[in-house]
Amino acid sequence: MHYFSKSGLVIIVFVIVMFGSCKKDTNGDNNADAFDRKVMLTNVGNNLIVPAYNNFQQAVIQYDSSVTDFCQNPDASKLLTLQQKFKLAYIAWEYCCSFEFGPAEQLYLSKSVNTFPTDVTQINSNIQAGSYDLNAVMNLDAKGLPAFDYLLFGVGADNSAILIKYTSDGDAGKRKQYLMDLSADTKNKIGAVVAQWKDGYLDAFINNTGTDIGSSTSYLYNEFLKSYEGLKNYKFSLPLGRMAGQTTTSPEKVEAYYSGISGELAKHHWNSTKYIWEGRDLNGVDGAGFQEYLASVEGGGTLITQTLQQQANIEATFAALPGGKLSDIIIQQFDKADAINTELQKLTRFYKSDFSSLLGIAITFNSGDGD
Amino acid sequence: MSLKNSVLCTILGLALISSCKKEDDKTETPTPTYTVPTTYKGFTNVDYTEATVVLGMTSAVSTEIAKGTGTAPATVPVPLNASTLKNMLTNSGNPFGNTIYDASGFQIQANSIAIAHTQTESYIDSLVMVSNTNAVAANGVAGLGITQNARRLLLTKNGINYAQILNKTLMGDLIYYQIAKRVLDNSLDNTTPVTGKNYTAMEHNWDLAFGYWSVPDSFPTVLTPVKFWGSYSNQVNGGLGCNAIVMNAFLKGRAAISNKDLTTKNEQAAIIVAMFDKMTAAAIIRELKECDVDIAANDMVQLVNHLSEAKAFAMSMKNNKNSGRVITDTQIETLLGFIPQNLWNTSLTDLTNIKTFIANVYGFTPTQMANM
């Protein structure tokens, strides 16, 4: 058998090499499967991704306008408005954070917009210096939504103390400038991503219908999975002290620690990943998504049933999460937050190994070259 | 492989060649009348010990440098000694404490491209300097940097890891240089066996080139152990398909030499040299992708380390002017210009620029990039 397989391999390699030299690239889509991935990609591209980016862009534009307004003449009412716009922008972001491929990957959108926990020391050092390269890798954790979270909610114990930092404080001028610069940076980032999707990437995304690495389905699935794991690991496991090597909780590592909207944001993040799985758009209309893709393959029905059941279990734990800051809940009602982590963990295999093997889409997370 | 199977392969191959050949192409490649083995073990007169020894010496240099970081076998950082390291490059004064290496008469430096000799010595001087700082590395501070997964690295104040610069310089200016030089060499005798040996000088030369690649004889059916370029071939294979292409070229070229078919040998040599050029470009992409992982992990020490590797690959391209090199000298300067002097200050734009530039120069498609 060994003999046979060796010579067989040579023939196969030879044939592949020879065909490769004269055949046109078929986009890796050689599966004669029943599911039309183009329909799924069309739905996800047109009805989930582009609207999510547009919503976030609009929210950021409104936020930016409030930043300008606030910085011109800071007062308590403008601060409240700005904080409200910030929350809306952050919620809108949660529906964008699972699409870190193509333009978003190239422009480092996610890293630029939502690297948390934010680096307060770096932020304050930048403000003091009055000069900074917001494009530097070093400043990724000193900008974006987590930096706004600190600047608008964390620089003082309450809103009157916060307002002082933008009015009578010695660095008020520099702090306002930093806030405006960060806002412009976020606005430019999402603007550039929206422009690229409009300017050809949407078509490219819809028409790259294979399942190999580099295909739209591969990107969509892998980034969906990465986003889901990010929700579980960095928004729950890490602050809960559940990551390998942790001996204690780290409630200060939650997303949006200063504003305390972490629980609400996590719920939106959860929704956004579920919508991708379902193929459901932001208006609630259910189109072709991973669920339909799974339904097209043998064994898919069982996995769908298992997934739906576990999704419901997760929703129940979210519903049972008390109001208030997630960082406080982790300290005071640990089990309530931990229950979400536990249920999210149980869903992992249905999104990851079972899903990946049923549909034959490789998990491509980069684990480093180790040298 | 049995005769039956080799005939089958040949027929299949010819059928396919003819199916994609233009009608008016009358240039006929002579039909090979010899069998190309499927593994390097298929050749019975191979000895690439010299390459293995030189690569072993290169690993020994890395191990010696690691002592400066406190990485095992050291338990605490030991200030490095320039003479010790430079003697290892030139194999002077039994520097390895390994009788095979010390008595081999081989050396890293003599086998490296001449222009790299002073460069590699200056990298060692930088490493020695950093190892004596006794400081923790930071932006503007030379010293010991520790990554999030506890790797220990000697970084200059600009975040440059000269251990990586040296290592990747040797991948280009020792290993690739040796491979290209040897496979392209048509000056050697290919009729009489070398005295006391069962191979000709040309066969042996080709075998040494293969040995420098550092892959198993049955690569890529067997994927381990691999080192240096063997490791990187694997890493970028998804995008380039280089494992099989280079291996097949080595096998076919070697069979051609033994059968006095210089035309085929030269064709295969060109394939190997061109693919190593692409692999070097792809290795830079690979390092840049590692940088993205480092960004996600918020690991600046690892990021400057990976950028040091990318920089060294780019610098090695500058030294290595083989025929068929795609990137021009001017383009290499542009590429190096995208890598900031101070790696700690690297911007997102710098990273995007490097990737985009390489992709454009080498014509890598988005799918290839995704698979590297």
CB contact (8 A) between residue B1 and residue A10 = yes
- Predicted confidence band of residue A267 (pLDDT cuts 50, 70, 90): very high
Collect all residues with Cβ–Cβ distance below 8 Å to B175 and sequence separation of at least 6: B55, B212, B213, B214, B228, B229
**Chain B CB contacts of A135 below 8 Å:** 347-349
What pLDDT is stored for residue A365 in this prediction? 75
Q: Using one digit for the tens of pLDDT, what is the confidence trace for B68-123? A: 999 888 888 999 999 999 999 999 999 999 999 999 999 999 999 999 999 999 99
Q: Is B88 left (phi over 0), alpha (psi -120 to 50) or beta?
A: alpha
Q: What is the pLDDT of residue B323?
A: 79
pLDDT digits (tens, 9 = 90+) for A319-371: 999 999 999 999 999 999 999 999 999 999 999 999 999 999 999 875 333 33
Give the model confidence (pLDDT) of A83-133 as tens digits.
999 999 999 999 999 999 999 999 999 999 999 999 999 999 999 999 999
pLDDT digits (tens, 9 = 90+) for B166-193: 999 999 999 999 999 999 999 999 999 9
Chain segment B34-44, per-residue pLDDT in tens: 999 999 999 99
- Residue in B2, B348, B371 closest to A213 by CB: B371
Q: What is the pLDDT of residue B240?
A: 98
| Surface of B (266-325) touching A: CB under 8 A | 286, 289-290, 292-293, 295-296, 298, 300, 303
Closest CA relative to residue A90, chosen from A120, A65, A63, A129: A63
Could you tell me if A157 and A126 are in contact, meaning their C-beta atoms sit under 8 angstroms apart?
no
Q: Which residue has the tokens 């991708």?
A: A276
Calpha distance B322→B8 (Å, rounded): 36
CB contact (8 A) between residue B347 and residue A135: yes
pLDDT band at B285 (very low <50, low <70, confident <90, very high): very high
Residue B126 has pLDDT above 80, yes or no: yes
Helices (H), A251-333: 262-278, 290-295, 300-319, 326-332
pLDDT at A25: 38
The pLDDT assigned to A33 comes to 65
Residue B90 exposed, middle or buried by CB count within 10 Å (0-12, 13-18, 19+): middle
Cβ separation A13–B248 shorter than 8 A: yes
CB distance A326 to A239 below 8 Å: yes
pLDDT of residue B321: 86
Q: Of all residues in chain B, what percent are helix, strand and coil, respectively (each to 5)?
A: 60, 5, 35
Q: What is the pLDDT at residue B30? A: 58
Candidates B114, B88, B83, B116; CA nearest to B101 is: B88
Please give the structure tokens belonging to residue B184. 């392209």
The residues in B 6-25 lying below 8 A from A, measured between CB atoms, are 8-9, 12-13, 16-17, 19-20
- pLDDT tens, residue by residue, A25-46: 334 343 436 899 999 999 999 9
Name the residue of chain B whose CA is nearest to A230's CA: B296
Contacts of A138 in chain B (CB under 8 A): 139, 300, 344-345
Query: Quick check: A14 pLDDT over 50?
Result: no
Least Cα distance to A317 among A210, A212, A198, A232 occurs for: A232
Residue A2: predicted pLDDT: 39
| Residue of B148, B174, B123, B144 lying closest to B66 (CA atoms) | B144
Enter the DSSP assignment of B137.
-
pLDDT band at B320 (very low <50, low <70, confident <90, very high): confident
Contact between residue B277 and residue B171 where contact means Cβ atoms under 8 Å apart = no
- What is the pLDDT averaged over residues A164-175? 98
Q: Is the pLDDT of residue A238 over 90?
A: yes
Both structure tokens of A247: 């001996």
The complex's ipTM works out to 0.83
Name the residue facing B366 among A17, A115, A214 (closest C-beta).
A214
Taking an 8 Å cut-off on Cβ atoms, the answer to whether A135 and B292 are in contact is no
CB contact under 8 Å between B238 and A213, yes or no, is yes
% of chain A at pLDDT higher than 90: 88
pLDDT confidence band for B29 (50 / 70 / 90) = low
Cα–Cα distance for residue pair B68/B155, rounded to 1 Å: 11
Q: Please indicate if any CB of chain A lies within 8 Å of the CB of B368.
A: yes
Contact A18 B371 (CB under 8 A): no
Q: Is B359 on the interface with A (CB under 8 A)?
A: no
Residue B199 C-beta-side C-alpha neighbours within 13 Å: 18
User: What does the alpha-carbon distance between residue A130 and residue A366 come to, in Å, rounded to a whole number?
Assistant: 37
Model-level pTM? 0.87
Q: Do A137 and B248 touch (CB under 8 A)?
A: no
